[in-house]
Structure 1
Amino acid sequence: MKRALITGITGQDGSYLAELLLAKGYEVHGVVRRASTFTTARINHLYEDPRESLTRLNLHYGDLTDSSRLAALLLKIVPDEVYHLAAQSHVRVSFDEPLNTGECTGLGTTRLLETIHRIGVPCRFYQASSSEMFGSTPPPQNEESPLHPRSPYAAAKTYAYWMTRNYREAYGLFAVNGILFNHESPRRGETFVTRKISRAAARIALGLQKRLYLGNLDAVRDWGYAPEYVEAMWRMLQADRPDDYVVATGTALTVREFLGHSFAHVGLDWQDHVEFDERHLRPTEVNALIGDASKAERELGWRAQVHGAELARLMVAADLAAERDDPVALPHDTAPTPRAAADVPVVRRP
């Protein structure tokens, strides 16, 4: 039985990755930050699943700013694979909190890599890199494209990317960078633009909301489906040698086009309901991110199946279903509406 450690397990990607690894027979350990409110909504359903295999999920309190705690967890768990997904991941927020973003997203990665190196855990390491690192580099972007970050978030991710490569080249760690382009799902946080759009389309159609306020509608993005992208993460750590891979669909939509597909799914014209709000603009914009994932297809056998238009409809459908059942519930595309879990630092079912 393989053992995996996931930082950021309570996020969109972490929840899908936990499901994938449990289905593959792994023992899964997740790191969560202690908070005064429950943060496990995306993974609570795993404890409600009656299958015996799902007794292999364990949660531990920890923080990327605490090297001693990271060392204690690694020595206790001794994982075969480490998936580092935790970060301050909101690009617009990173302009307001650049120091926190650098501390968590950049230096947090270095702390984890250095701890693995110093205590000698023989694990394979996945770093969640981002297409935002390419910034103003013209598309399509691949593994050889120059990096030109245009936000504190992108700069922190670029630092983490190079540190991962440095630990691979200097110390022989099996460390890889997954350069993931935008990937979404019904589990996407409500402050991210795709989920703001899908949720607003559903709520406006049901008479629960009147307007949606957005910033730049001309930004071009390569939007894929998160459950497919975590499969690519896993494949990177099963390869014979460590390397870096772009993960993308190769197709692109503007925010305006994503709006069109989303509102059309509920029979509405988005222009009747969306207004511009300059507060949502970034100080420096990234105009177009379109990935070339041919290397991942060639070497890992991975290829995206769900593209932007279908993704928009999928997300709106999930938000419609959730809003009809409970106007404040977080939609789960593969599980019932989650409930609060017991506030325990380590969860292991007997």
Structure 2
Amino acid sequence: MPTALITGITGQDGLYLADLLLAKGYDVHGVVRGQNNPKRELVRRRLPGVRLHTGDLTDLSSLMRALRDARPDEVYNLGAVSFVAYSWDNAHVTTDVTGKGVLNMLEAVRLHAGDDPGRVRFYQASSSEMFGKVQESPQHERTLLWPRSPYGVSKVFGHHMTINYRESYGMHASSGILFNHESPLRGPEFVTRKVTRAAARIALGLQHELVMGNLDARRDWGFAGDYVEAMWLMLQQPVADDYVVATGDTHSVRDLLDVAFRRVGIDDWSALVRQDPAYLRPAEVDALVGDASKAREVLGWRPRVGFEELVAMMVEADLAEQKHLAGS
């Protein structure tokens, strides 16, 4: 039975990845920050087969303990301060966790593996936000990185550190440059979930308007459940490498609003959505769209869930949640 250790297991990607690995027969371990983390119980309820370890990406010794206790064959580093808007308000925390935390995890794995650096396979969750002020479209593995937020800068640091450890120490360390991927498990602070939850609440009479920032930003949105499969496939390859994971299709925030509100029977949302400059980024990333040709050719990976199906899935989940909350 292979063993995997996941940082960030309480997040959207960590939960989907743990589901996938358990279904494949893995012994799955997760790192959770703090003994009293309220999300610890969420993981225990949803994934009773997962063993949890207390650890912190800013504390190398805690990561070493988790590795010693779990003895993993594969490590998936998904832990991060992942909300871009938050990174502007807390750039130092974002840098410590999302940037230097990758270095801590790589160093912990290197020390744990000892004389056989490739013994433990490592996955780093890189991000399309690294492309920022895009220099070409679509973006691929060789596209120049030009991040436009503290989050993006931190991800670039972690990405290049992963490459450095692979080339310097012979570690089997791969990075997945994942474009936006969503699901009903997405946090409500993210734009997709903000929209789908608001559409559900407005349709149920629980909310009267939705306040948004830039409606013209375009993103390449896919389903998180599809994207975690690509993570796993990377660590099954004989040689570590970096891969863009994306659908290749781009949609605007307006498109997102169209699909979400149509799903609840509202064809014209213009009177329900108000733009507020306070929600605009200091440096906007206007459009991101990925070229996942390498992932298709080498990994045999391709997305299964399209944009409209994804948004519909999220709206239906939010309708069910809000009905339950309203009735309780």
Measured after TM superposition, the shift of residue 40 of structure 1 is 3.6
CA distance in 2 between counterparts of 1:327 and 1:165 reads 49
Question: Compared with structure 1, are the counterparts of its residues 327 and 9 closer, same or farther at alpha carbon in structure 2 (3 Å cutoff)?
Answer: farther
Equivalence for 2:218: 220
Counterparts in 2 of 1:202-221, with a 5 A limit? 202-221=200-219
CA distance in 1 between counterparts of 2:142 and 2:316 reads 37
Match of 1:125, as an amino acid?
A: F
Please list every run of 5 or more consecutive structure 1 residues that lacks an aligned counterpart in the other structure: 48-53, 330-350
Counterparts in 2 of 1:86-125, with a 5 A limit? 86-120=79-113, 122-125=119-122
Task: Indicate the RMSD between aligned Cα atoms, in angstroms.
Answer: 1.5
Equivalence for 1:181: 179
Question: Compared with structure 1, are the counterparts of its residues 113 and 321 closer, same or farther at alpha carbon in structure 2 (3 Å cutoff)?
Answer: same
Is the 8 Å Cα contact of residues 220 and 290 (structure 2) preserved in structure 1? yes
**1:130 pairs with 127, 130, 139, which one?**
127
SS at match of 2:76: strand
Is the 8 Å Cα contact of residues 54 and 66 (structure 2) preserved in structure 1? no
Question: Compared with structure 1, are the counterparts of its residues 328 and 270 closer, same or farther at alpha carbon in structure 2 (3 Å cutoff)?
Answer: farther
Equivalence for 2:292: 293
Seq. identity, %: 55
Counterparts in 2 of 1:110-259, with a 5 A limit? 110-120=103-113, 122-137=119-134, 138-259=136-257
Aligned length: 322
Question: Compared with structure 1, are the counterparts of its residues 159 and 286 closer, same or farther at alpha carbon in structure 2 (3 Å cutoff)?
Answer: same
SS at match of 2:123: strand
CA distance in 2 between counterparts of 1:21 and 1:174 reads 19
**1:66 pairs with 35, 42, 59, which one?**
59
Equivalence for 2:259: 261
Please list every run of 5 or more consecutive structure 2 residues that lacks an aligned counterpart in the other structure: none
CA distance in 1 between counterparts of 2:52 and 2:96 reads 23
Equivalence for 1:280: 279
SS at match of 2:145: coil
TM-score normalised to structure 2 length: 0.95
Measured after TM superposition, the shift of residue 120 of structure 1 is 2.2
Is the 8 Å Cα contact of residues 42 and 187 (structure 1) preserved in structure 2? no
Question: Compared with structure 1, are the counterparts of its residues 265 and 152 closer, same or farther at alpha carbon in structure 2 (3 Å cutoff)?
Answer: same
Matched, 1:5 2:5: yes
Measured after TM superposition, the shift of residue 318 of structure 1 is 1.0
CA distance in 2 between counterparts of 1:40 and 1:120 reads 28
Measured after TM superposition, the shift of residue 311 of structure 1 is 1.2
SS at match of 1:272: coil
TM-score normalised to structure 1 length: 0.89
Matched, 1:80 2:80: no
Is the 8 Å Cα contact of residues 214 and 275 (structure 1) preserved in structure 2? yes
Deviations 1:199-250 (A, max 9, x none): 0000000001111101000100000000000001000000111010000000
CA distance in 2 between counterparts of 1:34 and 1:213 reads 34
CA distance in 2 between counterparts of 1:247 and 1:79 reads 25
SS at match of 2:270: helix
Match of 1:26, as an amino acid?
A: Y
Is the 8 Å Cα contact of residues 251 and 307 (structure 1) preserved in structure 2? no
Match of 1:134, as an amino acid?
A: F
CA distance in 2 between counterparts of 1:323 and 1:23 reads 30
CA distance in 1 between counterparts of 2:231 and 2:77 reads 10
Measured after TM superposition, the shift of residue 176 of structure 1 is 0.2
CA distance in 2 between counterparts of 1:107 and 1:327 reads 42
CA distance in 1 between counterparts of 2:324 and 2:113 reads 49
Asked which structure has the greater RCO (Cα within 8 Å, sep 6+), the reply is 1
CA distance in 2 between counterparts of 1:228 and 1:148 reads 27
SS at match of 1:239: coil
Match of 1:20, as an amino acid?
A: L
Question: Compared with structure 1, are the counterparts of its residues 328 and 176 closer, same or farther at alpha carbon in structure 2 (3 Å cutoff)?
Answer: farther
Equivalence for 1:34: 34
Match of 1:282, as an amino acid?
A: R
Deviations 1:19-45 (A, max 9, x none): 100010000000111165511465344
Measured after TM superposition, the shift of residue 78 of structure 1 is 1.3
Equivalence for 1:345: none
Is the 8 Å Cα contact of residues 35 and 54 (structure 2) preserved in structure 1? no
Is the 8 Å Cα contact of residues 200 and 318 (structure 2) preserved in structure 1? yes
SS at match of 2:39: coil
